[in-house]
Chains A and B, each alone.
Chain A
Amino acid sequence: MDKIPILRMGAFLLVTIQVDLYDRLALNLEADLVQMVNKTGAKGVLIDISAVSIVDSFMGRIIGNIASMSKILDAETVVVGMQPAVAITLIELGLPLKGVHTALDMERGMNLLKSIIEVTDDEDRYPETDDLIAE
């Protein structure tokens, strides 16, 4: 069965979805990702969906779920590279993905994530993650 790889990069987790998600795959991704966040203590999750051309309400909800779950586990979620058609579909479906940060591409997403986490770090410092963010 297909599996979507989750890569660890410092304090972040990278997920690049290169295929059109079907429901089962999306559910697996959700479970894997939550496990990964927990295991690595990641501060941010970056999901690249630039290769996804079709979404349905289920997919939209999964993305929303991932964001809320990560939030509970103290990680921010940034979705990058959404195609115009996908954005229009999600809006028409009434899923504005509240609580999810978005960016145009990977690079900006990374910068955004860094800036978000820096801000939170200033408020309450986590000494153990400092060296991770520094890199």
Chain B
Amino acid sequence: MLQNKKKNILEFWMKNQLADEGLREDLISNDELRSQSEELITALVSNLSGDNFTNLDADEWSPVIEILGGIAITRARQGFSPRETGNFVFSLKEAILDVLQQEITNDPMALFKESQKVNRLMDNLSVVTFETFIKGREEVILRQTDEITEISTPVIRVWDGILALPIIGTLDSARTQIVMENLLQEIVETGSSIAILDISGVPAVDSLVAQHLIKTVSATRLMGAECIISGIRPEIAQTVVHLGIDLSNIITKATLASALAYSFKVMRLEVRKINTVTKF
């Protein structure tokens, strides 16, 4: 019966969706919405057969679920809110119920039964939608985390033979590993003999992080370069001492500037102001 009413349902559904005040015209165009909806309904209706209403694991449902999943993931990436995505499916339910009501006018029992079936089906479908939506969001978050780790540990060549690594954000084992690898690789590539590890952007240091820092410094030393830690905040200095971490074998400087000045001294470089012509 629903098969014949496909067009009707689609119309109702579109009307419902368009009437919704929360419709995000900035994120999705009407045409796109319509084609998405049409695709879903076609799949839904063509796979309907009397007895598979409740069993979503049945093979007939996999194309529907696939389409729904696709839509949910796209929406997650586009930045739809969960409510908006949910409404997409709920409004379909309303549309189908409306059509059912128009069709079955003289038999309340039958109407009730059919409605219940549709209810159950659509609820199941919306759960699937939500699951996929959340999965999509998690993927987005994971990708962003990866990107942040990538971006947040740049190795900068501040001078010929001097590298600097500003570290911003909390240091954990995974990040320290990346920092260490990037640093050592860059030392080999540029032939730098001094690396400055600036931790002024690190909010907190615990014993594990300190351990990682010491490891990084030792590894740099093994490579034949020198590693200076700069930008240790007073609070961090306090914690380090309270934790009983020994940083005495490591060269530490208060600021990146003083670390750079120290590096110049080690490399026997001199930077000074040029006397201007007017003075003569």
Taking Cβ atoms with an 8 Å cutoff, the residues of A that contact B are 79-84, 86-88, 90-92, 96-97, 102-105, 108-109
Asked whether, in the complex, the Cβ of B223 is within 8 Å of the Cβ of A102, the reply is yes
Contact A88 B219 (CB under 8 A): yes
Q: Is B191 an interface residue (CB 8 A)?
A: yes
Known contacts A88-B180, A91-B215; decide if A82 and B191 are in contact (CB<8 Å): no
Q: How far is the CB of A66 from chain B (nearest CB, A)?
A: 15
Q: With an 8 A cutoff between CB atoms, is B221 at the interface?
A: yes
Query: How many B residues touch A, CB cutoff 8 Å?
Result: 18
Contacting pair A102 B191 (CB below 8 A): no
- Give bound CA distance, A82 to B225, whole Å: 11
Contact bitstring B149-193, A, C-beta under 8 A = 1, else 0? 000000000000000000000000000000011001101100111
Residues of chain A lying within 8 A (CB to CB) of residue B220 = 87
Q: What number of A-B contacts does a CB cutoff of 8 Å give?
A: 54
Known: A82-B222, A102-B222. 10 other contacts (CB 8 A): A82-B223, A84-B181, A84-B185, A87-B222, A90-B219, A90-B222, A91-B222, A96-B218, A96-B221, A104-B223
A90 to B180, alpha carbons, bound, how many Å? 13
Shortest Cβ distance from A86 into B: residue:
B222
CA A92 to CA B221, docked complex, whole Å: 14
A104 touches B222 (CB 8 A): no
Q: What CA separation (Å) do A90 and B193 show in the bound complex?
A: 20
**Residue B224, interface by CB 8 Å:** yes
Asked, given contacts A91-B215, A91-B218, A104-B193, whether A80 binds B188 with beta carbons under 8 Å apart, the answer is no
Write out the residue numbers on chain B whose beta carbons fall within 8 Å of the beta carbon of A84: 181, 184-185, 187-188, 219, 223
B residues less than 8 Å from A104 (CB atoms):
187-188, 191-193, 223-225
Nearest B residue to A80 via CB reads B224
**B180 to chain A: which residues have CB within 8 Å?**
88
- Name the prevailing secondary structure of the A interface residues: mixed
26 interchain pairs, CB-CB under 8 A: A79-B222, A79-B224, A81-B224, A84-B181, A84-B184, A84-B185, A84-B223, A87-B223, A88-B180, A88-B184, A88-B219, A90-B219, A91-B218, A91-B222, A92-B215, A96-B221, A97-B222, A102-B221, A102-B222, A104-B188, A104-B191, A104-B193, A104-B223, A104-B225, A108-B193, A108-B224
Query: How far is B125's CA from A108's CA once the two chains are assembled, in angstroms?
Result: 68
Cα separation A8 to B193 with both chains bound (whole Å):
27
Q: Which residue of B lies closest to A112 (CB)?
A: B224
Closest to B222 in A: A87
Contacting residues, chain B, for A80 (C-beta < 8 A): 224
Name A107's closest neighbour in chain B (CB-CB). Answer: B191
Contact residues of B between 202 and 250, Cβ < 8 Å to A: 215, 218-225
Residues of A near B187 (CB, < 8 A) are 84, 104
**B residues less than 8 Å from A97 (CB atoms):** 222
Nearest residue, chain A, Cβ from B188? A84
Chain B residues whose CB sits within 8 angstroms of the CB of A105 once the complex forms: 191, 224
- Is there an interface contact between A102 and B184, defined as CB atoms closer than 8 Å? no
Report the minimum CB–CB distance from A119 to chain B (whole Å): 15
Contacts of A81 in B (CB 8 A): 224
Which chain B residue lies CB-closest to A104? B224
A20 to B247, CA, bound (A): 34
Q: Are the C-beta atoms of B181 and A82 separated by less than 8 Å? A: no
B42 CB → nearest A CB, Å: 55
Question: Which chain B residue lies CB-closest to A89?
Answer: B219
